[in-house]
Chain A
Amino acid sequence: MTTAGKSNPLREEEDRRLPRIAGPCGLVIFGVTGDLARKKLMPALYDLANRGLLPPGFALVGFARRDWAHQDFAKIVHDSVREYARTPFREEVWNQLSEGFRFVPGDFSDDVAFDQLRDTIDELARVRGTGGNLAFYLSIPPKFFPDVIGQLKEHGLSDPPADAWRRVVIEKPFGSDLKTAQELNAVVEGVFPQESVFRIDHYLGKETVQNILAFRFANQFFEPIWNANYVDHVQITMAEDIGIGGRAGYYDGIGAARDVIQNHLIQLMALVAMEEPVSFEAKALRTEKQKVLSAVKLPERLDRHTARGQYAAGWQGGQHVIGYLDESDIPRTSQTETFAAVKLEIDTRRWAGVPFYLRTGKRLGRRVTEVAVVFKRAPHLPFDATETEELGQNALVMRIQPDEGVTVRFGAKIPGSAMEIRDVNMDFAYGGAFTESSPEAYERLILDVLLGDPPLFPRHEEVEMSWMILDPVIEHWAQHGQPDAYEAGTWGPRSAHEMLARDGRSWRRP
């Protein structure tokens, strides 16, 4: 289907107004009653339809253990679209979409349900013209993957009919260490070929993350200083102000490092640190990401260069909040970390001696994700020490969320008769970031799945490499008792600050 452009006389390369519309297809969502499906997937599908990017005749099949008829399912989708879609609700778009809704009730071990699923899929090919092209979205806990994927295979759903495709979409966590990641991968890729497996890391679908690539490789004046000669260190932060909320079952035993560093932060680091890909084809991007990940080294002394914490009760933004151990369904003895920070080094000529500090946590000062590239001081300052007392290090901050944009921090003269220099900020905020016109990450990623366009999806090699980086840290922590407590609403435990202080640096207040 991607070759259509060559033979289709109505498509020309210069005709960039014409959007990429997915070919005839359908999407089957397992776990359609979950939060992700309701808050992200179904609204994203509606938004795609509203933008005219879904094919006419698109079909959506829900699969869950609920006693629903098709109309009940349509009602659920309707409510979620009404509540969470970013584009305005339009009756005609809804009509177009809802004609293709089907619901299949059943358990993942229920053969009858999967037979019914197959019949539904055949029926959709007939009445909606999906051409047998289907993506299976597993919005379910990974422990059910073997069941569902086994059933898909057994009922002949994983093998596409001639000239059609079958794809599978899975969400993090991709295992909880290298071994489980490999096991999971064996299950999935045992049934679906590698190029049909789409792993969603929704961070990679964000405009601002893709902008890192544009920023680095479309401009001339960043690349010359993007190396160890000029960069002192890099800080990558993803902070949340919320606690674990209702996710105790998922979160306890997993923790911040597995939940966030393994995927989002290491992917961000790869994008910031990688060499220029020869093209933006999936293969070229993957090659560079894997190259840089393979050069990542952990510090020898994990006790001195990593930190972990667990939030204690405190005041956050004017509200008193309880500590992690007091959250419901969390054992009082839990050693799960809600804050994690690691120092990584990259053994390449470009990055030798430049530490990458990655940190993430819940119940921190505010919700923010950013990448800060902090530069070395100027080798010589032709000013008195007192004149530059307020001058810090230059920094370039890519703000991923919220308030997407770029900040450059540099020194400027304070207006007045004396020569005094202090740090100033220059901000770039792309106004479109908040409008409906900038697509939500899931929209972009779902469309890419339907188009079969893989650049934004990590492959199992990348997943395994990031576990190789992180496994020793997690093992080290497992042998060293309780994480350090930090008061909710602050920027993490004292040990995190000490970890940078040892290197003569400090965390930015993002």
Chain B
Amino acid sequence: MSTTELTQTNASEIASEILKARRRAGSPSMGMVMTLIVVTDEGDHYDALKAASGASREHPARIIGVIRRSARGSSKLDAEVRIGASGESILLRMSGELTGHAESVVLPLLLPDSPVVVWWPGKAPKDIAEDPLGSLGNRRITDIAALERGREAAMLAQAENYEPGDTDLAWTRLTPWRALLAAALDQYPAKVTGAVVAAERANPSADLLAAWLSSRLKVDVTRTNSKGPGLTAVTLETGGGEISISRPDGVLARFTTPNSPDRPVALKRRELRELLDEELRRLDPDDVYAAAARALIAKGSPRAGRTTTRKAAKPARTAKKRPRS
């Protein structure tokens, strides 16, 4: 691992430093498969870049961290270039007028011809696909659960502005739940007549799950509040009894299907890095998420106790490939 700091620099100096650093390391071939842009701030960048470089063990990537400082004063760009075992990372700190033109620094540093993923670990712009940095990406990842407040509104805005390639980690967090629910219906293929999703207040994952279930099962889904952590229970009602997965402690769940003994299932809340790993595994638009997001909008602002009506379910708009910019 070599680290070089550049101050008062520009994109072409950074690019040539990357080349030099690679040569110094004996021109190792990296086999990098994507560029990952992490749009973050001084407070969060350490954890976010750590998760990103963790994920780059599975998906070798050039990681570009973008930190915008104060927009006042004269434009300035500082950079930290690191060449590590599983990829390269560049941390950009911008201030002054340049903060409004971050894409001009990032564009020349994208790896040629390979996919670009933009990730906002914290606050994201309202319309991420239209954002100048967001529009560089084939894939845009947000994390609404990381917001301190206004999660519901943010989730709705995200759903309303959905463009193919958008995704939120609230959706990623659901994969193990969705997999178990699907497996439950594989094992016990009964007609589902209703469903209940219980979770902490203001939990975007739970709202998405309720929307997904109502759009797939064509039933009303009730969303109730619990003390958490996160999602705590999902119940599917069938003629023969309840299928339920309950996870009161955020770690170990109990899996119940009619006519079978209860069974424990490990269902740990995953770390950021694991979520990012999953996100980076597939870089084409996630049509299933699009359909769930659409169902969420149709239902309106999610509130506990409200029921998603089956009118909510609309077919997914077919995703059109966005031209790569």
A joins B in a complex = yes
Q: Which of A11, A55, A96, A432 contacts B59 (CB 8 A)?
A: A432
B120 within 8 A of A: no
Given the interface pairs A4-B186, A7-B189, A23-B186, the reply to whether A129 lies near B263 with Cβ below 8 Å is: yes
Q: Determine if A18 and B29 form an interchain contact, defined as CB atoms under 8 angstroms apart.
A: no
Q: Determine if B264 and A49 form an interchain contact, defined as CB atoms under 8 angstroms apart.
A: no
Residues 283-324 of B at the A interface (beta carbon under 8 Å): 286-288
Q: Determine if A92 and B278 form an interchain contact, defined as CB atoms under 8 angstroms apart.
A: no
Residues 249-307 of B at the A interface (beta carbon under 8 Å): 251-252, 255, 257, 260-261, 263-268, 277-278, 282, 286-288
CA distance A127 to B262 in the complex (A): 8
Given the interface pairs A55-B183, A96-B252, A405-B31, the reply to whether A8 lies near B265 with Cβ below 8 Å is: no
Q: Determine if A431 and B264 form an interchain contact, defined as CB atoms under 8 angstroms apart.
A: no
Q: Determine if A57 and B263 form an interchain contact, defined as CB atoms under 8 angstroms apart.
A: yes
B87 within 8 A of A: yes
CA distance A148 to B31 in the complex (A): 48
Stretch of A167-175, A226-234, A422-430, A460-468 with 4 or more beta carbons under 8 angstroms from chain B? A422-430
Question: Which residue of chain A has its CB nearest to the CB of B174?
Answer: A17
Q: Determine if A17 and B288 form an interchain contact, defined as CB atoms under 8 angstroms apart.
A: yes
Q: Determine if A90 and B189 form an interchain contact, defined as CB atoms under 8 angstroms apart.
A: no
| B residues near A56, Cβ cutoff 8 Å | 180, 183, 255, 263-265
B178 within 8 A of A: yes
CA distance A400 to B13 in the complex (A): 39
Q: Determine if B182 and A10 form an interchain contact, defined as CB atoms under 8 angstroms apart.
A: yes
Interface bits B1-34 vs A (CB < 8 Å: 1, else 0): 0000000000000000000000000000111000
Question: Which residue of chain A has its CB nearest to the CB of B279?
Answer: A17
CA distance A4 to B213 in the complex (A): 17
| B residues near A389, Cβ cutoff 8 Å | none
| B residues near A429, Cβ cutoff 8 Å | 29, 31
Residues 1-33 of A at the B interface (beta carbon under 8 Å): 1, 4, 7-12, 14-19, 21, 23-24
B109 within 8 A of A: no
| B residues near A128, Cβ cutoff 8 Å | 261, 263
A326 within 8 A of B: no
Given the interface pairs A1-B186, A4-B189, the reply to whether A14 lies near B263 with Cβ below 8 Å is: no
| A residues near B30, Cβ cutoff 8 Å | 431
CA distance A126 to B261 in the complex (A): 7
Question: Which residue of chain A has its CB nearest to the CB of B278?
Answer: A17
Residues 15-64 of B at the A interface (beta carbon under 8 Å): 29-31, 56-60
B187 within 8 A of A: yes
Q: Determine if A52 and B179 form an interchain contact, defined as CB atoms under 8 angstroms apart.
A: yes
* Minimum CB–CB distance for A313 against chain B, Å: 37
Q: Which of A8, A14, A49 contacts B266 (CB 8 A)?
A: A49
Interface bits B57-74 vs A (CB < 8 Å: 1, else 0): 111100000000000000
Interface bits B148-186 vs A (CB < 8 Å: 1, else 0): 000000000000000000000000100110111111011
Q: Determine if A431 and B57 form an interchain contact, defined as CB atoms under 8 angstroms apart.
A: yes
Q: Determine if A127 and B266 form an interchain contact, defined as CB atoms under 8 angstroms apart.
A: no
Which of B252, B257, B263 has most chain A Cβ within 10 Å?
Answer: B263
Q: Determine if A50 and B266 form an interchain contact, defined as CB atoms under 8 angstroms apart.
A: yes
A390 within 8 A of B: no
Given the interface pairs A1-B186, A21-B183, A23-B187, the reply to whether A9 lies near B261 with Cβ below 8 Å is: no
Q: Which of A10, A129, A437 contacts B185 (CB 8 A)?
A: A10
B123 within 8 A of A: no
* Minimum CB–CB distance for A439 against chain B, Å: 12
CA distance A428 to B29 in the complex (A): 7
Q: Determine if A17 and B266 form an interchain contact, defined as CB atoms under 8 angstroms apart.
A: no
Q: Determine if B57 and A435 form an interchain contact, defined as CB atoms under 8 angstroms apart.
A: yes
CA distance A437 to B183 in the complex (A): 22
B86 within 8 A of A: yes
* Minimum CB–CB distance for B149 against chain A, Å: 29
* Minimum CB–CB distance for A51 against chain B, Å: 10
A95 within 8 A of B: yes
| A residues near B185, Cβ cutoff 8 Å | 4, 8-11
Residues 412-447 of A at the B interface (beta carbon under 8 Å): 426-432, 434-435, 437-438
* Minimum CB–CB distance for A208 against chain B, Å: 14
Q: Which of A12, A57, A99, A437 contacts B260 (CB 8 A)?
A: A57
| A residues near B265, Cβ cutoff 8 Å | 56, 96
| A residues near B252, Cβ cutoff 8 Å | 92, 95-96
Q: Determine if A10 and B216 form an interchain contact, defined as CB atoms under 8 angstroms apart.
A: yes
Q: Determine if A10 and B187 form an interchain contact, defined as CB atoms under 8 angstroms apart.
A: no
Q: Determine if A52 and B260 form an interchain contact, defined as CB atoms under 8 angstroms apart.
A: no
| A residues near B56, Cβ cutoff 8 Å | 431
A93 within 8 A of B: yes
B105 within 8 A of A: no
* Minimum CB–CB distance for B13 against chain A, Å: 25
Which of A17, A93, A96, A438 has most chain B Cβ within 10 Å?
Answer: A17
B217 within 8 A of A: yes
Interface bits B227-255 vs A (CB < 8 Å: 1, else 0): 00000000000000000000000011001
* Minimum CB–CB distance for A337 against chain B, Å: 37
Q: Determine if B175 and A17 form an interchain contact, defined as CB atoms under 8 angstroms apart.
A: yes
Q: Which of A21, A92, A426, A437 contacts B58 (CB 8 A)?
A: A437
| A residues near B217, Cβ cutoff 8 Å | 9-10
| A residues near B187, Cβ cutoff 8 Å | 23-24, 55, 129, 131
Q: Determine if A52 and B86 form an interchain contact, defined as CB atoms under 8 angstroms apart.
A: no
Given the interface pairs A10-B181, A10-B217, the reply to whether A430 lies near B264 with Cβ below 8 Å is: no
Q: Determine if B266 and A52 form an interchain contact, defined as CB atoms under 8 angstroms apart.
A: yes
Q: Which of B58, B189, B286, B287 contacts A431 (CB 8 A)?
A: B58
Question: Which residue of chain B has its CB nearest to the CB of A407?
Answer: B29
Question: Which residue of chain B has its CB nearest to the CB of A131?
Answer: B187
* Minimum CB–CB distance for B35 against chain A, Å: 15
Q: Determine if A426 and B216 form an interchain contact, defined as CB atoms under 8 angstroms apart.
A: no
Q: Determine if B282 and A16 form an interchain contact, defined as CB atoms under 8 angstroms apart.
A: yes
Residues 286-315 of A at the B interface (beta carbon under 8 Å): none
Question: Which residue of chain B has its CB nearest to the CB of A434?
Answer: B57
Cβ contacts A to B, 27 pairs, < 8 Å:
A7-B189, A8-B185, A8-B186, A9-B185, A11-B185, A17-B172, A18-B179, A19-B179, A21-B182, A23-B186, A24-B260, A52-B176, A52-B179, A52-B266, A56-B183, A56-B255, A57-B255, A90-B266, A92-B252, A95-B266, A96-B263, A96-B266, A129-B261, A429-B31, A431-B58, A432-B57, A432-B58
- Using A95-B252, A96-B265 as known contacts, list a sample of 4 further A-B pairs with CB atoms less than 8 Å apart, ordered by residue number in A: A9-B217, A11-B186, A52-B267, A429-B29
What 9 pairs between A and B have smallest CB-CB spacing? A431-B60, A129-B260, A4-B186, A93-B266, A10-B182, A57-B263, A92-B252, A56-B255, A56-B263
